[in-house]
Structure 1
Amino acid sequence: MSGQDVISFPQFAAKIPQLVSGVTGLIKGLKVGDTTDKTKPVGLGKCLQDCARANPQGTAIAFENREISYREFDEWTNRIAHCLQSAGIRKGDAVAVMIENRPELLAVITGCAKIGAISALVNTSQRGKVLCHSINLVEPKMAIIGEELIEAYQDVESTLSLTADDRYFVADSDGLKHPASAPEGWHNLMQLAGRASDASPATVDTIFPDDPCFYIYTSGTTGMPKAVVFNHGRFMKAYGSFGFAAVRLNSEDRMYVCMPFYHATALAVCWGSVLAGNAGLVIARRFSASRFWQDIRDHRATAFGYVGELCRYLIDQPPSPRDADNQVRVIVGNGLRPTIWKSFKQRFGIPRVMEFYASSEGNIGFTNLLNFDNTVGMCPFPYAIVQYDQENETPVRDRKGRMVRVRKGEAGLLIGEITDKTPFHGYTDAEKTRKSILTDVFEKGDAWFDTGDLMRDIGFKHAQFVDRLGDTFRWKGENVSTTEVERIVDGCDHVSETVAYGVEIPHTNGRAGMASVRLNCDIAAFDFQALLAELRRDLPAYAIPVFLRISDDVEKTGTFKHKKAPLKQAGFDIHQVTDPIYVWLPGADTYVPLTREIHEAILAGHYRF
């Protein structure tokens, strides 16, 4: 299939034996993920306990030169749970967790989960105002900070609602065995946990589907980061639907994950799949294209998690005779582009691509169970793809006020019906939750979640991701809120007005940030280096605009909304734009004028953004 094809009956019929062979796992996955019984104890803590009973000596986590068995990891998380209880943390309390990818992060998250505390999983690349907002948003009772991020936390500490007594330190070392000294005035979590009981806390059996497990931050469609409620029931859905129905690992498997665990893809989809199979989780602190396949071989990984950008970086590496020298039999993730899908599978010898579609806040998901190319697969829950008027930014309704489903092959807005089995738990922001619900869609009184995404119906209940709507764009595997970027840029010296949007750069995935900026000084007097330094302090690297368009004014609608469509269409094309354009080139510490030579080099792919 190409990116525009639909699935034919012969194509679908050829996959029926594969569907039949996976029915047992599919049924088990749906049963495990069924959270309609609100009185049944479930959750992350119980999933780990099941693994510790079934595979006590098996590898739970491998990280660099460390391997931790399921029994060791379960007991470690019990110690942390008891330690947090002794510090006064109770069910329903939020705990801000800011630790990079390493075993301590998952131990802390699980320790919280076992007592019903909610881990607020702060994006470790956030700094300044955005970091302060994310922490204060959830009103945490405690902050657990990794040694590697102490400085970032201390930079905003004076503006946080937490007191000095609520700071807990986690060394960047070997967990309980080598807990390094904490800074003065900080509690050393692992030293305290070392003195706690390793018995399972009784609270594990008091965790139910609707109890929150994590707060996962998302850009949403407007404003600063939102904290999405990800409850234990949703974790069970990921554990069941991906673990048993889709990925299907076993105790001999190892999944390599180099994506950040503050995202649901790594935390719920990948780790949930590992736990369901009593398999091993191999953690990399961060992604490295040059080391990736050697890591895979060194750790004997048979699976890995991905986002589209990761795959693009891998295929951009120089070909090697060892490209297919690996034991990988399945990969799971989202965003693998149709332009590289088949070549990626062939070059690296990947038999199964378990592409999926989901969002941290959404109530439905798609999984490529039948291993078709170029599709997010199918969804077992009620959804619809409806006609969408992009000019007026609203779903199309007929004369009766009802929405209209698209035909096979057409693209439209994806919506998920809100039911007992597919609830929408919303955000910590009640107004944002209200705006995400569509009512009277097909009949009076019904309710549907607005995903904000365009999908194409390609037939036989399969869909293909098309694009994102609203005030977000995706870059470096992250959702970027244009409103958040605008707010930060507007706060910089000599900036009067900002309009942020995403633009496509050839040979990259997603959209890079671009901002149309109006200055209150002469452009020759403006300090572009100082601007970039300020943006690097207050925004994650992926959210910083790559291009700046210096404009005298910004076109607006009659209701004073910025007209972004013409800006997006022109992009950074110097043949269409008469305004000066500046670019932040890879490795540079300032913006420089976009010359004809630089423009041609960008289009030719000579810069690696």
Structure 2
Amino acid sequence: MLDKVVYGVAGAAGASVVAWKTMFPWINHDLKIIKVQKRLKTEKDKDLESGEFLIDRFEKHVYNQPRKPFIIFEGNVFTYEYIDQQANRVANVVRTWGLSVGDTVAMMIYNEPAFVWTFLGLQKMGIEAALINFNLPHKQLSHSVNASGAKAFIVGPGAELFDAVHAEEEEFGGMPIYIQGCSANQMPTGYISFDDLMAASSPAGVDGSVRAALTPMSPVCYIYTSGTTGLPKPAPVSLREMSIGLAIANCTSNDIVYTVLPLYHSSGGGIGLFGTIKVGATMVLRRKFSASHFWEDCSCYRVTIIQYIGELFRYLLSRPESLDEKSHQIRAAFGNGLRRDIWKQVQTRFKIPQIIEFFGATEGNTMLFNLSNKPGAIGRLSPLLQRLSPNYQTLVKYDIATAEPIRDSNGHCIEVKPGEKGLFISAFAPEMKEVNFYKASQEANEKKRVRNVFKKGDSYFNFGDIFYLDGDYFVYFVDRIGDTFRWKGENVSTTEVANILTSLDFIHDANVYGVTIPGQDGRAGMAALTLYDDKPLTHELLRKIWKHCEENLATYARPMFLRLQKEATLTATFKQRKVELVKEGFDINLVDDPLYFADQVTKSYIPIKQDTYSRILTTSKL
């Protein structure tokens, strides 16, 4: 019966919509998504036909609405015209560097207008921008810059940014490093003042012909993903694909978008900034999230669309109620990670008409979204949507120990049924089957593919995420398998953390994984350690681990818990086994091994006793 409905959607003039809804009560949710997908396809086709890139669209907005506010930052208004003039100065500086279209320049800048005009200036020249996470310490920082193949590195204003780069100076292989925010006489030798160059640069426009060699497939920037193993990897991003995110919320030029998420991230930059540029809207940009100023900003600047990650709303709910949280003009919240248990509380208390939860990956080939205000759902995978989708998406059974799909007797993957959990995969179009997701790691590229899924020769993208499919075909995020965990809105490579820990001369092995904490979003990092010569973890060694992690790992990547084991937990093939460790977590009632907690007061790891355990379970902010 369903097949007849699917194939007759376009021409079944005599069919009753009421009858469809009676036979398939979930179809109304599908129709909402189909309507949006049709609109997005129309916009995408227009972009392809026009040959416009995002920078072309931005320059059109500059011409049509020069005095319109583009970025509002710390009470200051930056118009489209002003940002364009600054971007032109950047472009005219960069054109003297001898670079070609398709070359890469790395940039590490805080959330501020300089990020925007630096990025756009590179786009004017057809230069690919590698967007560097400013939280990365030492080795991760130099690796990320070098992995992009950057020919130059632009560092934003701020002593902390300069200090981070200066500490790794010898690792950049002589790459020219340009510093914003100071003149040449304020810096050590070996660095170049970008401000001095900007002061001497012309604000005159750059003709679009300089980037004529770009194609729809050209990567115009790189956003970093932890992947499943090793250090951060640069994933090429198409601005056309990324910028459609806010279009799901029907963002128009009349909207005012509030962004507190980092612009180097696919949510803050790829969806927020690029989406704002695409339609010519206004962005209220904040340097970082502030729970105490969030609703004040939204009310003051008449914000209509906000971006979020799950943790953001948890912090807002912990604040006292205020008039601003209900007097705003927000019509939609767009983001991911909002827990089901607080969804209705968020929507009711903050008076948000629509919460659009989405799921995607920077290097992925599809996006799911929930338009039905269904608490906790990240999208839908109904038979109708699957048949109409240009790239078939589904959930398949998986082996929790190997993180690989389970195959049937014919060697094919097995789809799950409603009421079951499965690994999310999405088919590649034939012309995309061998496209690389990462710039510098062929092994990592292949690991994200699943081949011969349902027939010989097909190829699917493996997101590495487990979803639950309910009876109405809504899907819910359950967990991330493999070698990452997600904490504070960031994906963390367990291999990267383990390598940092085992670089200490007294740690023999480190098995890193994520564990759940009641009342907290995501999974906090935990490391099961074995030491050389079966040593105990003394106070001195615990302090050394703390200091080592503080110096070498971003805050969100530092293990919150340690477990001391006499012998490592391994599989029969001598691979680290995490299943039992994840299940036991830091529960002192289940674990006989010594357990330790990262204590911010003592700046060390402390033993987890009953009082510490109770404090962790009842603390709202970790």
Same fold (TM over 0.5): yes
**Pair 1:26–1:69, CA change in 2 (3 A):** farther
Cross-structure match for 1:191: 196
**Pair 1:592–1:247, CA change in 2 (3 A):** same
The 5-angstrom pairing of residues 484-499 of structure 1 reads 484-499=496-511
Query: Residue 40 of structure 1 contacts residue 208 of structure 1 at CA under 8 Å; is this kept in 2?
Result: no
Cross-structure match for 2:56: 46
Cross-structure match for 2:301: 299
**Pair 1:421–1:265, CA change in 2 (3 A):** farther
Query: Residue 167 of structure 1 contacts residue 187 of structure 1 at CA under 8 Å; is this kept in 2?
Result: yes
Aligned partners of 1:16 and 1:557: how far apart in 2? 43
Q: CA deviation at 1:457?
A: 3.0
**Pair 1:99–1:489, CA change in 2 (3 A):** same
The 5-angstrom pairing of residues 329-478 of structure 1 reads 329-378=331-380, 380-382=389-391, 383-419=393-429, 424-428=435-439, 429-458=441-470, 462-478=474-490
- Indicate the SS of the match to 2:325: coil
**Pair 1:496–1:183, CA change in 2 (3 A):** same
Q: CA deviation at 1:161?
A: 1.8
The 5-angstrom pairing of residues 11-90 of structure 1 reads 12=26, 23=35, 26-34=37-45, 41-90=51-100
Cross-structure match for 1:561: 575
Cross-structure match for 1:278: 280
**Pair 1:17–1:463, CA change in 2 (3 A):** closer
Query: Residue 454 of structure 1 contacts residue 465 of structure 1 at CA under 8 Å; is this kept in 2?
Result: yes
Query: Residue 426 of structure 1 contacts residue 433 of structure 1 at CA under 8 Å; is this kept in 2?
Result: yes
- Indicate the SS of the match to 1:147: coil
Cross-structure match for 2:112: 102
**Pair 1:357–1:587, CA change in 2 (3 A):** farther
- Indicate the SS of the match to 1:199: coil
Q: CA deviation at 1:26?
A: 4.4
The one of 167, 183, 206 equivalent to 1:200 is: 206
Aligned partners of 1:274 and 1:485: how far apart in 2? 35
Aligned partners of 1:499 and 1:34: how far apart in 2? 47
Query: Residue 42 of structure 1 contacts residue 207 of structure 1 at CA under 8 Å; is this kept in 2?
Result: no
Aligned partners of 2:476 and 2:512: how far apart in 1? 27
Cross-structure match for 2:619: 606
Aligned partners of 1:268 and 1:305: how far apart in 2? 12
Cross-structure match for 2:14: none
Aligned partners of 2:602 and 2:260: how far apart in 1? 26
Cross-structure match for 2:516: 504
Aligned partners of 2:121 and 2:583: how far apart in 1? 49
**Pair 1:420–1:398, CA change in 2 (3 A):** closer
The one of 203, 206, 218 equivalent to 2:225 is: 218
- The CA deviation string for residues 337-376 of structure 1, in whole angstroms up to 9 with x for no partner, is 1111111011101111121111011011112234433222
- The CA deviation string for residues 439-477 of structure 1, in whole angstroms up to 9 with x for no partner, is 111111111111111123346764322211101010000
**Pair 1:376–1:95, CA change in 2 (3 A):** same
- Indicate the SS of the match to 2:243: helix
Aligned partners of 1:398 and 1:511: how far apart in 2? 32
The one of 116, 119, 123 equivalent to 2:133 is: 123
Aligned partners of 1:223 and 1:400: how far apart in 2? 33
Query: Residue 501 of structure 1 contacts residue 568 of structure 1 at CA under 8 Å; is this kept in 2?
Result: yes
> What is the TM-score when the length of structure 2 is the normalising length?
0.88
Aligned partners of 1:453 and 1:331: how far apart in 2? 23
Query: Residue 93 of structure 1 contacts residue 117 of structure 1 at CA under 8 Å; is this kept in 2?
Result: yes
**Pair 1:210–1:475, CA change in 2 (3 A):** same
Q: CA deviation at 1:18?
A: 5.6
1:337 counterpart letter in structure 2: R
- Indicate the SS of the match to 2:40: helix
- The CA deviation string for residues 208-230 of structure 1, in whole angstroms up to 9 with x for no partner, is 21111111111111111111111
Mean CA deviation greater in 417-426 or 191-200: 417-426
**Pair 1:400–1:296, CA change in 2 (3 A):** same
**Structure 1 alignment gaps of length 5 or more:** 1-6, 173-178
- The CA deviation string for residues 228-259 of structure 1, in whole angstroms up to 9 with x for no partner, is 111xxx3212323x343x12223332111111
- Indicate the SS of the match to 1:416: strand
Query: Residue 570 of structure 2 contacts residue 577 of structure 2 at CA under 8 Å; is this kept in 1?
Result: yes
**Pair 1:30–1:425, CA change in 2 (3 A):** farther
Aligned partners of 1:62 and 1:82: how far apart in 2? 25
1:236 counterpart letter in structure 2: R
Q: Which has the higher contact order (CA 8 A, sep 6+)?
A: 1
The 5-angstrom pairing of residues 540-551 of structure 1 reads 540-551=554-565
**Pair 1:365–1:181, CA change in 2 (3 A):** farther
Mean CA deviation greater in 189-198 or 296-305: 189-198
Q: CA deviation at 1:587?
A: 4.7
Cross-structure match for 2:17: none
Query: Residue 515 of structure 2 contacts residue 523 of structure 2 at CA under 8 Å; is this kept in 1?
Result: yes
Q: CA deviation at 1:81?
A: 1.5
- The CA deviation string for residues 515-534 of structure 1, in whole angstroms up to 9 with x for no partner, is 11122344336432232112
**Pair 1:468–1:322, CA change in 2 (3 A):** same
Aligned partners of 1:208 and 1:35: how far apart in 2? 15
Q: CA deviation at 1:55?
A: 2.4
- Indicate the SS of the match to 2:377: coil
Answering whether residue 537 of structure 2 is matched by residue 537 of structure 1, we say: no
- The CA deviation string for residues 365-410 of structure 1, in whole angstroms up to 9 with x for no partner, is 1122344332222474421211222234321222221112211232
Aligned partners of 2:491 and 2:580: how far apart in 1? 22
Q: CA deviation at 1:323?
A: 2.7
Query: Residue 473 of structure 1 contacts residue 480 of structure 1 at CA under 8 Å; is this kept in 2?
Result: yes
**Pair 1:168–1:249, CA change in 2 (3 A):** same
Cross-structure match for 1:152: 164
- Indicate the SS of the match to 2:509: strand
Let me know the Cα RMSD of the aligned residues: 2.5
- Indicate the SS of the match to 2:538: helix
- Indicate the SS of the match to 1:350: coil
Q: CA deviation at 1:78?
A: 2.2
Aligned partners of 2:219 and 2:258: how far apart in 1? 27
Q: Percent identity?
A: 32
- The CA deviation string for residues 510-568 of structure 1, in whole angstroms up to 9 with x for no partner, is 00011111223443364322321121111000000001112221121121111211111
Aligned partners of 2:491 and 2:274: how far apart in 1? 22
**Pair 1:62–1:554, CA change in 2 (3 A):** same
> What is the TM-score when the length of structure 1 is the normalising length?
0.90
Aligned partners of 1:487 and 1:17: how far apart in 2? 48
Mean CA deviation greater in 506-515 or 384-393: 384-393
Aligned partners of 2:331 and 2:595: how far apart in 1? 46
**Pair 1:282–1:422, CA change in 2 (3 A):** farther
- Indicate the SS of the match to 2:476: strand
Answering whether residue 522 of structure 2 is matched by residue 516 of structure 1, we say: no
Q: CA deviation at 1:198?
A: 2.4
